Amino acid sequence: MPFTGIREDIRMARQNDPAARSSAEVFLAYSGVHAVWGYRVAHRLWLWRWFLAARVYSQLVRSLTGVEIHPGATIGRRLFIDHGMGVVIGETAVVGDDVVLYHGVTLGGTSSVQERRHPTIGDRVSVGAGASVLGPVTIGHDSIIGANAVVVRDAPPNSVLTGIPARVRPRAASPVAETFTDPAIYI
């Protein structure tokens, strides 16, 4: 991974976690960041068609970080996994740029057939703790998924998704709403 990618990941963590006191702390102690870096190595092995090596390496990373990212998933730049324990990202999932996932998030499949069976998450999406996005659904850019929501339907850009099953509604257009980017407030 180029050093610019590492710097971007550290900067993303510092922007999204007020508890991050320094870049050194993020580099050394943030398991979600380590999981993303481990995914990038496993994904490269997957692209080289070294499937067994990729899976074994990803499972090693999972045992160290508590975050399971299938090496076949497609993940954009600057993914930040905050308090990563229990996060699962499936094989055919697609995650855009500048996405934030909190602990316990599942981007899971609903089919055992070898096809696209995991979600597509747009850019700048925030997914709250314990949320599950299931099946080949698409979540539009700049959306927020509330904590513990269960998403089984597509959502257009600038949506808020809450509940079980999740209801989709537009994000408020007021400037005050822009300050509420923490998905925990949408429980």
CA 56/CA 73 separation, integer angstroms = 15
Is residue 113 within 8 Å of residue 127, measured between CB atoms? Answer: no
pLDDT of residue 1: 47
Above 50 in pLDDT, residue 176?
no
DSSP three-state, residue 107: strand
Strands (E), 42-157: 68-69, 74-75, 80-81, 88-89, 94-95, 100-101, 106-108, 120-121, 126-127, 132-134, 138-139, 144-145, 150-151
How high is the pLDDT of residue 111? 82
pLDDT at 173 over 80: no
Token reading at 22: 């320094």
- Would you place residue 177 in the very low, low, confident or very high pLDDT band (cuts 50, 70, 90)? low
Please count the helices (runs of H) and the strands (runs of E) in the chain: 4, 15
Whole-model pTM? 0.88
Q: Which residue matches tokens 């499972």?
A: 59
Q: If you average pLDDT over every residue of the chain, what do you get?
A: 91
Residue 92 has pLDDT above 80, yes or no: yes
Q: Any idea what DSSP says for residue 135?
A: S
Q: List beta partners, residue 88.
A: 68, 106
